[in-house]
Amino acid sequence: MQNRRQFIKYVGTAAGAFVAGSGFLAGCRRGEQTGRRQVMIGGRRVRTIDTHSHCFVREVVPIVKGQEWASILLSSDAGTRGNRITPDFMGSERVAWMDEHGVDVQMVSINPYWFVGERGIVSELIPAQNEALAANAAKFPGRFAPWASVALQFPELAAQQLDEAVKKYNMPGAAIASNINGTELGSPALDPFWAKCVELGVACFLHPQAEGGQFNNRRWPEEFNERLAPIGPLGQPLDTAIGLAHMIFEGTFDRFPGLRIIGAHGAGFLPSYVGRADSSCEWTPKGCGPLKKKPSDYFREQIIIDSLVFDDHELRLRVEKYGVGQIMLGTDHPAPWPTKNVDDVLGNQFLNDAQKEAILSTNALKMLKIPAEA
Amino acid sequence: MPDRRTFIRGMSTAAAGMLIAGAARQMGAQTRPAGGRRQITIGGRRVKTIDIHTHVYVRDVIPLLRNVDIGGTVKSAASGTRGNRLTPDFLDAESVRWMDDHGIDVQARSINPYWYSLTDRALATKLIAVQNAALARDCAKFPGRFVGLATCALQFPDLAAQQLEEAVKTHGMPGVAIAANINGEELGSERFDPFYKACVDLGAAIFVHPQGEGKFDGRAYPKGFADRLRGMGNLGNVIGYPTETSIAFGSLIYSGTLDRFPGLRVVGAHGGGFIFSYSGRLDANCEFSEGARKRCAALKKKPSDYMREQLISDSLVFNPEELLLRVRQYGVSQVVLGTDHPAPWPTTGVDHVLETPGLTDDEKFAILGGNLSKLLRIPQFEATT
C-alpha cells in the first residue's frame, strides 16, 4: 500500500503552508480555510476530474412524492438516509469537501431510481431533473459536470432526453445502470439510445444499483441478495460484470464502435478476470458469436474503467493490461468508503507521474465534455 | 499466448524428441527422451509438476445410480456420449500419454460432486465407499502419476467426516474435493464444522470446484440467476462459475469457518474466482458502515488476509496479468498449478506458468510443484527447501 511520504511530495497548495488534517480520512491534506487544495504532479498543476460521484436534486421531489420507487431520493431529501460524507446534493458543503480533498470537478450522477416508473411520470421527471442538475451545477461554475438522467426503460424517449440534455445543458453523457429494470444492457431494444450517444459524441457512466441489481428493494434475481448479503460487497461488481458482458457478447459494442462506457468501481469483476471469457471464446466459439474482437479487447477502447478498486495491485493490473488511457478517477463521493480519493492515485506505488496525470485529469479532459474552469 | 491447437499439434507424440519451444519463448529448459515424458526443469532443477485441478469419474458407481435421478454427467461419460474432452473421463494409458506430452508429472484427480441431493443416507454411504475405493484402485495402476481426492457426502457432515477419515487412512488420499455450495447450503454453515475438523485433524486439503451455476443435476441456486446469464458468451461458465467460487470463499471467510479452523487449507478452482482478483473492495468495505464494521470486527484478520494463508488459488486464469496479480498480492505460496484437464480449455497449463513474465525461477518452481508437494505430501524428485 501507499507510503505516506511518497504521496505527500506530490501535494501542494496555492497558499503553501497548511496543516495536516486528522479527520475521518487518513492522508487528507487540509488547505487553508478559504483555499482549494491544488494537486501538483511533477511541478505542474493538475485539474482533477472525478467521473464517479453521486447526487440528487430536490426540485423533483413534488413530482415523485408518494412513489415507492423514489424512496432513496425522498429519504435523502428528508435527511434520514444517513451514512454519507456530505449531503446528497450539490451545495457549499460538498464544494468545501472537494476543495479540501483536491477534487476540482465532480461529474455527478443520479443513480437511476425511475426505471420502474411509467411513461407519463418519467416524461415529466427527467426533463425537470436534468434542468435542476444543470441549474445546481451552474451555481458553482467549473466545479460540476452532471451526467444526464434518462428513462432508459423507454429507449426512444431516453434518446430524446439525452439529446435535450446535451444540446441544452452541454452535459457529457448519461448515467445508466447495469440492467434496466431487468432488461439486460445487450438487448437490441436499447439500440436507439446507443445510436444517439454515438451521434452526439457523448459517453455513458455505468453504475450498478445496490447489491445484486436492486431497484429500491426490487431484487433481481429474487433470492440472490440472500446469498450475497452475508459475504460483503460483491453484488455491485457482479452486476457490472453481467451488464458489460451482455454488451460485449450481444454485439452492442460491435454495432456501435463509437460507444464509450465508463464502468464504476474499476468496471467490476471483468477487467481483472477476463482471461476466462477470452479462453471460453476459443473453446466454444459458437457460444461467443461473431465478435469483432476478443472480450478483453473491449476494455482497451470502448470500456473505460474508474480507479475505485481500493488496491494498488488491482489498479496496476488495469493500467498495465488495458493502457493508462482507459482509466479515469472515480471516488464514489459521498459514499463513506475509507478511500483517499486523489491520493489513492497519487500514492499508487506502481504508477509514474504521467500515468497519474492521465488518470486524474487528462483522460477525462480529452474524452469527455468538461466545462472550463471558472 | 500460444494457440492451443498449434501447441497440441506441436506437442504430439509423433514429434517425440523434438522441442517446439520457440527461441523467443521463455520456456524452462526441457528434456524429453525419445518416446518419454516431457521433463520440466527450472534453473537447472527438475521440478515434479503437480496439477491440483483435473477431473475424473469411476465406472463402478453406475450400477448404484441406476434408479436415481442424479449423476447425469458420469452416466453420459460412461456411455461415451459426453464428448468434448481432451482424454476420456476415466484413468487410462491415454491420460498418462497426455500428461507425458504436456510435462505433467502428477495429477490430483477429483470427481465433481453429483450426489449432494441424495437424501438416502444408506445409498450415499455405499456410493462414496465404492467411489473412493475405485478411484484409489485406478490411481494405483499408474504409480506416482495420480492421487485421488476423496469424495464425501457432505449433506451428511458427520458421515462425510467418517468417509474422509477412511479415504485418508485406507486409501492414502491427501485431500478432498467439494463443490461451492452443498445442495444450496453455503460452505460457511456451522453444520459442516465436523467435516472441517476432520480435514484439519487428518491434514487433508480441500479443493473447491463450482458446479454449473450452482446446479446439482438441474437444481439451480439461487433461482433466477441463470436467467441473467442467458444469451451469448457462455456466461453460465464465464460468470456463473467464478461467482460460485467467490461466494464459497466469502462464506468461509465471513462465517468465521477459517477462524474456527486455522489449519484449514482450501484451494479454489479457476484462480479462486472473482474474489481473488477483487479483494480491495472487501477490505475497504470493513470501514463503510456500522453493519460492515461489525461483520469484519468478528473476524481475526482482514478479508484479503485469508487469501495470504488459508485460501489458495489455482493457476487457471488464462493470462499472465491475472496470474501475476495473485502472486504479487498474496505471495507465491498461494498459487498452485491447475489445468482443468480433460476439459478442452485452450490453455497450456505448465507453459502458462513458465511463460508468465515477471515470475522468478523459484516462483515458477513453487507454483508448478513445490507448493503442492507440501500441501498434498507428494515429495519432489530431489529434496528442496
CATH number of the domain encompassing residue A151: 3.20.20.140
Q: Other C-beta atoms within 10 Å of B23: how many?
A: 5
ipTM: 0.90
**Is B210 at the interface with chain A, CB within 8 A?**
no
Domains of chain A: total = 1
pLDDT at position B12:
34
- Residue A219 belongs to a domain: yes
How many angstroms separate the Cα of A94 from the Cα of each of A59, A86, A108, A122, B254? Answer: 18, 6, 11, 28, 35
pLDDT at position B34:
60
pLDDT at position B8:
36
Query: How much is the mean pLDDT over chain B?
Result: 89
Mean pLDDT for B157-178 is 98
- Residue A32 belongs to a domain: no
In chain B, alpha helices (H): 4-10, 62-65, 72-78, 93-102, 121-140, 157-171, 193-202, 225-228, 235, 241-254, 257-260, 280-285, 290-297, 320-330, 350-354, 361-365, 371-376
- Residue A96 belongs to a domain: yes
pLDDT at position B20:
36
Q: How confident is the model at residue B35 (pLDDT cuts 50, 70, 90)?
A: low
CA distance B316 to chain A (A): 8
In chain B, the residue whose alpha carbon lies closest to the alpha carbon of A288 is: B233
CA distance B154 to chain A (A): 19
pLDDT at position A289:
83
Domain ranges of chain B: 4-15+28-376
Q: What are the φ and ψ backbone dihedral angles of A160, each rounded to 5 degrees? A: -65, -40
B134, pLDDT greater than 50? yes
CA distance A185 to chain B (A): 11
> Which of A265, A284, A317 is facing B321, going by the closest CB pair?
A317
- Residue A254 belongs to a domain: yes
Whether residue B157 is preceded by a cis peptide bond, meaning omega within 30 degrees of 0, is: no
- Residue A318 belongs to a domain: yes
How many angstroms separate the Cα of A329 from the Cα of each of A24, A47, A53, A288, B84? Answer: 21, 11, 10, 32, 44
Measuring CA to CA, which residue among A355, A351, A359 is closest to residue A328?
A359
CA distance B278 to chain A (A): 7
Q: Which residues of A touch B242 (CB under 8 A)?
A: 269, 273, 276
Domain of residue A134 covers 48-367
SS3 A40: strand
Q: CB of B57 within 8 A of CB of B111?
A: yes
Question: Residues of B103-130 as b/e, b for ≥16 C-beta within 10 angstroms?
Answer: bbbbbbbbbbbbbbbbeeeebbbebbee
User: For an interface test with B, which of A25, A220, A279 has the most B Cβ atoms less than 10 Å from its Cβ?
Assistant: A279
The per-residue pLDDT string of chain A (374 residues; one tens digit each, 9 = 90 and over) reads: 333 333 333 333 333 333 333 333 333 344 444 689 999 999 999 999 999 999 999 999 999 999 988 988 999 999 988 889 999 999 999 999 999 999 999 999 999 999 989 999 999 999 999 999 999 999 999 999 999 999 999 999 999 999 999 999 999 999 999 989 888 999 999 999 999 999 999 999 999 975 445 555 555 676 777 788 888 788 889 999 999 999 999 999 999 999 999 999 999 999 999 999 999 999 888 889 889 999 999 999 999 999 999 999 999 999 999 999 999 999 999 999 987 889 999 999 999 999 999 999 999 999 998 988 87
Q: What is the CATH number of domain B4-15+28-376?
A: 3.20.20.140
Mean pLDDT for B190-200 is 98
User: For residue A371, how far is the Cα from the chain centroid?
Assistant: 17
B28, pLDDT greater than 50? no
Q: Which residues of A touch B222 (CB under 8 A)?
A: 221-224, 226-227
Q: CB of B24 within 8 A of CB of B11?
A: no
Q: For the ranges A101-110, B28-37, B134-143, which has the lowest average pLDDT? A: B28-37
Q: How confident is the model at residue B315 (pLDDT cuts 50, 70, 90)?
A: very high
A278's CB contacts (< 8 A; 6+ apart) are A294, A295, A296, B318, B319
- Residue A184 belongs to a domain: yes
B310's CB contacts (< 8 A; 6+ apart) are B258, B262, B264, B265, B266
Beta-bridge mates of residue B31: B39
